[in-house]
Amino acid sequence: MERRGFLKSLAGAGLGLGMLPAWGAATPAQAADADAWRAVVMDVDACTGCGACVRACHERTAARVPRPVSPIPVSRWGRDRRSDWWERRQLTDRLTPYNWLYLQTCTVQTARGERQVFMPRRCLQCLNPPCVSLCPLGAARQRVTGAVYTETSLCFGDGQCVAVCPWHIPRLQSGVGPYLHLAPGYLGYGQTFKCDFCEDIIAGDRPPLCVAACPHQAQHFGPYREMVALARQMADERRGDLFGLRENGGTCLIYVSSIPFRDIEAALLRQGLISPGRPSLRPVGASLERENRLVGTVLAAPLAGAALAGLRLLRDHWSEKHED
C-alpha cells in the first residue's frame, strides 16, 4: 500500500471510529479484588541516600527506552514540543524518560538541628490513576496488582498523562514510538515514560528492583492492606507523618517520616529543589489551564479515534509489507 493510499484509508476509518463512545480510554483496576494490590512503604528516616535503588532502576530502564531517530521530526501543529534526553540519558538527579527513580534530597531544620533528608521519588502508582482514565488512546494501563504502566505500542506522547498527573511524573521522549511510522510531524510527539512498578516482576509476587536493592531495609513490599497497617504502625511509634495514604485517593507508595512532610516540602521550595522532573509533594492544584486540558481531552475523541484506527491500519500495512 502506498503512503497516499494509506493516509486516505486512515482518514476514512478515523471518521467512523471517532464517533464511537469509550473509544480508547482504559479502565483503572481499582474495582478488582484489593487483595491483589501490592504496595511499598518507604521509611524516609532509614534512607541514607546510598543510591542503590536508583542504580538498580536505571539499569533496567536503560534497556527499555529506545534511542530516538535523528533528526527528530518537528511538529507542524502549534509550538514545537520536542523533548530529547538521549544525550543526557545518564542523568540520575531527576526523573527523565531514561531515569524513572531519583533521590530527592534537602536539608531540614529540626528541634535537634539540621538534618539531611533523602526521599526516593518515582510514580506513586495511584489506586485510581487519572492518567489511565484520561489517556486518549488507552495507552496508560493498570494491572490488578495496582501497577500503572504504558502500553508503548499505543503511546503517541500527547502528554495528557503529564497534564492530569497530580505530580507531573511522566516524562516525554520524542523521536521514539509508533507515531514515527504514521504521520510524524502531524500526529504524535513521541512517548511518555515513568516507573511501571516493575509490573512484570511484582506479578510473580517478587519485590520491585528498587526495594530488592535497598541495603538498609528502608523499603518494604507486600500486599496493600498489610503495607497500610505497617505504615500506620511505624508512624504511630515515632509520632511521624504519612504521605501517599490519602493523596489523590491513595497510592501504592506510602512514605513514613518523623519529620512532617509539610516541613520537607517547605525546605524543597526554599532550596529551589522543585522543577520539571523534580516533583513537589503537593498535588498540582486544579487550575483553569488544567480544566481546559481535560475538556480538550474529551473534545479530541474523534482525532484519537482516527489515531487508533491508524494504528490498526499501520499494523496491517506492515504485516502485508513483511509478507511480501
With respect to residue 3, please indicate whether it lies within any of the assigned structural domains.
Answer: no
Q: Is residue 19 part of a domain?
A: no
Domain that residue 176 falls in: 24-297
Q: Which residue carries 520537607 as its cell? A: 264
What is the pLDDT, as a whole number, of residue 313? 52
- pTM for the complete prediction? 0.81
CB-based contacts of 55, cutoff 8 Å, min separation 6: 92, 213
User: Which of 36-50, 100-114, 149-163, 296-310 has the least mean pLDDT?
Assistant: 296-310
Structural domain contains residue 11? no
Task: Identify the pLDDT of residue 9.
Answer: 39
What is the per-residue burial (b if ≥16 Cβ within 10 Å, else e) of 1-26? Answer: eeeeebbebbeebbeebbeeeebbbb
Stretch 290-302: mean pLDDT, rounded?
45
pLDDT of residue 81: 83
For the ranges 11-25, 174-188, 247-261, which has the lowest average pLDDT?
Answer: 11-25
Alpha carbons 103 and 308: distance in angstroms, whole number: 37
Ranges 12-26, 111-125, 168-182, 268-282: which has the least confidence = 12-26
Grid cell of 174 as nine digits: 520524542
User: Does 244 reside within a domain?
Assistant: yes
Q: Over 60: is that where the pLDDT of 315 sits?
A: no
Among 6-10, 34-38, 93-97, the range with the most confident prediction by mean pLDDT is: 93-97
Rounded to whole angstroms, the Cα distance separating 100 from 57 reads 7
Give domain status of residue 291, yes or no.
yes
Which range (11-20, 138-147, 149-158) has the least confidence? 11-20
- Residue 62 sits in a domain of what CATH number? 3.30.70.20
Domains in the chain, number: 1
Which pLDDT tens digit goes with each residue over 20-52? 333 456 666 554 567 899 999 999 999 999 999
Predicted pLDDT of residue 10: 40
Sign of CA dihedral 199, 168, 180, 15: positive
Question: Angle between the 3-17 and 301-323 helix axes, to the nearest 10 degrees?
Answer: 140
Residue 83 DSSP one-character state: -
